[in-house]
Structure 1
Amino acid sequence: MRYLAESKLEKHKKNKFIRRYRYHLMLSLGAICLVFIYILMSLSPVSAKSRGREVVVAIPVSATANQVGDILEQNELVRNGLVFSLYARYTGLDSRIKAGEYRLNDSYSTPELLRELVQGRLAEMSFTVPEGYTTAQIADLLAAKGLVDRQKFMLAVSEEEFPYSFVQGLPKGEKRLEGYLFPDTYQVDRGSTEVSIIDMMLKRFASVIEELDYQAQAESKGVTLHKALTVASMVEREAMVDEERPLIAGVIYNRLNIDMPLQVDATVQYALGTTKPTLFYEDLEIDSPYNTYKIYGLPPGPIAMPGRTSLLAAIQPDRTEYLYYVAKPDGSHAFATTLAEHNANRERYEE
């Protein structure tokens, strides 16, 4: 009987131990599952793709995975910075994170964020230079976007050497690259230098004139590339209707051929340094090589950045007898051959 009682007691203890073991095992498995779920949640995106928010973050040189995780958490790009750093170490990518500024999205998962930082796809910004902008306006545009220091940009325009034949020999100064910074939409890395941005725009101009065989076409018309570009810039600032650009270019060439002052209002506005809706007689008296009411022939260089249609108009002008044009209220122009016709158009269309 005593033996049986002891056996029952041992069996009871054993069962109690098993139950306790199972209980602790279940607790441990439950804790492990909770940790696993927490890690999965921490690795998941902060926001859904449809509600993603872009953030530009700066990763310092030699930043540790912990520091990067803290930066991402502070910018609400990850749920847990420590989990990010642990994941980076687990994957062996913690030492491959590259410094720089990145445009990231809070709809990226931790693996996606880490991939961006390892591949070094730095933050890009776009900017668009409208046709007809001047160098000064481009400098203002880029400075307003935080892409350049305006003073450094203008200094680079004035004095920096660039490896393009069409800028060799141009006189130094803030007007040196007027007409040569091609108006277009550009993508640049944040942190790009003033020189690299200018070089990109000059490279785009080089690509366009090569595609159009521009220099050869200009020379076939008896003008240099610089002179054709100067005509194109005046066309750009004077015309609002694309179909009229070759007509306006033709008027300019017709006047040049008979040694008649060009009297292009846009050149006076350029000389004044401002775009005035109406020019007064005193404006036309400004002493400037760009005032085509006072000088004969072309001004020293372009007065703006011409787009493709104006560039083509300058080398493919319409052949007409027109010597005059006046703007209509809708932005188009009325063209005339004689001064009498021109004056009649002015009475009709000018207020």
Structure 2
Amino acid sequence: MRLLKLLVVFPLLLAMLAAVAGMWWLQQPLSLAAPAPQQKALLVTIEPGASAQVVADRLSASGVNAPPQLLYAWFRLSGQARDIKAGTYEIDAGTTPRTLLSKLVRGEQALRSITLLEGWNIRQVLQAVRSAPDLTQDIEGLSQDDIMALIGYPGRHPEGRFFPDTYRVVTRAPASSVLKQAAQAMEKRLEQAWAQRDADSPLRSPDEALVLASIVEKETGLDSDRRRIAGVFVNRLRIGMRLQTDPAVIYGLGERFDGNLRRKHLTTDGAYNTYVRAGLPPTPIAMPGAASLMAAVQPLATNSIYFVSRGDGSSQFSATLEEHNAAVRRYILRR
């Protein structure tokens, strides 16, 4: 009789001990292999359609130092094995089996930020995206035209077409996905700005608004001057006066520009030489931000047709050439 009781009680005790051990294990931080260089945590990618067993195997192979059979058993016993979502996950120190499964079930993928700055040109944009360490480089070796086609804008000139902002993307996402987000954001922002344009605006299309906004972006040193600078350029467009904006000339020079804008640059004909050619240049010259977009379509009403930098970021505005020449002598020539 005593033997029979032992045969009944002993398995129950083992089961209780196993349950206690299991509960303890679920709360303990997992042992992790050292992450790859330049990474603070292990990165694990779960492919779509992966079974719980495959997920457990992938975690173990990626550096989670736990038997895959034990991980698989936990996934199954939790009742959430089929709820694990595909994606790229970051497993850091302190992660327990319980929090690991919660992360996988909730789809809390590893995210990274990439920032595109106002006033950057397309070369700077592509350099930032191509050098981002946590992106999959699917644009390497592609021309600008090929990249625009890849993100859904075939035949579109890339300059100014990406909205400057900080974008959050999944780690190892294609580099083109960042550009696509930024292009879609600019398209939306430009559409919204164009819908709010002044009724008497001389701009004939959203594309012209984007070109003017890019010039305003490069010419503005002080945010409070932005709409007035736009007003100067709009006044010049209305009377057929050349824009005479240095940033456009510099953009036209491209990599030939050595930091010193010379008189020969201002007198040599070229598509972006607004000292020689009237009207707007053929494309934007940089990425304008939201404030410059709105300034282009809602410029400040002003009688100024000239402005010059005071050297402190602000600008001196003038309505006549005589006033402008006096401002040049004071702020540029220091006479």
User: Which range is displaced more, 133-142 or 143-152?
Assistant: 143-152
2:27 is aligned, of 34, 44, 47, to 44
For residue 252 of structure 1, report the CA deviation from its aligned partner: 1.1
Report what 1:5 is aligned to. Answer: none
1-structure distance, mates of 2:159, 2:76: 52
The DSSP-based 3-state class of the residue aligned with 1:102 is strand
Aligned residue-pair number: 319
CA distance in 1 between partners of 2:106 and 2:250 (Å): 48
**Structural RMSD (CA):** 3.6
Among residues 206, 209, 218, which one is paired with 1:228 in the alignment?
Answer: 209
CA distance in 2, matches of 1:228, 1:218: 11
Is it true that 1:87 corresponds to 2:87 in the alignment?
Answer: no
CA separation in 2, counterparts of 1:292 and 1:161?
31
Contact 1:152 1:194 in 2 (8 A): no
Change (3 A) 1:45 1:303: farther
Deviations 1:195-242 (A, max 9, x none): 544443333234334544x24625641312211221111000110211
Task: Tell me which residue corresponds to 1:110.
Answer: 97
227-236 or 337-346: bigger deviation = 337-346
With structure 2 as the length reference, what TM-score do the two structures score? 0.78
Question: How far off its partner does 1:322 sit?
Answer: 2.0
Q: Which structure 2 residues correspond to residues 134-145 of structure 1 after superposition, within 5 A?
A: 134-145=121-132
Q: 1:147 to 1:135 in 2, by over 3 A?
A: farther
| Corresponding residue of 2:272 | 290
Residue 226 of structure 2: aligned partner:
245
In structure 1, distance between residues paired with 2:76 and 2:10: 30
* Structure 2 segments unaligned to the other structure (5+ residues): 31-39
Residue of structure 2 in register with 1:344 after alignment: 326
The answer as to 2:174 corresponding to 1:187 is no
> Percent identity over the alignment?
32
What pairs with 1:60-75 in structure 2 (closer than 5 Å)?
60=47, 63=50, 65-73=52-60
Change beyond 3 A, Cα 1:65–1:219: same
Task: Tell me how far apart the structure 2 counterparts of residues 282 and 34 of structure 1 sit (CA, whole Å).
Answer: 87
Describe the SS at the equivalent of 1:58.
strand
CA–CA separation in structure 2 for the residues paired with 1:104 and 1:273: 44
* Structure 1 partner of 2:37: none
**Which of residues 189, 195, 201 in structure 2 aligns to 1:208?**
189
1:159 maps to 2:142:
no
Larger radius of gyration: 1
Provide the secondary structure at the position in 2 that maps to 1:273: helix
Q: 1:238 to 1:32 in 2, by over 3 A?
A: same
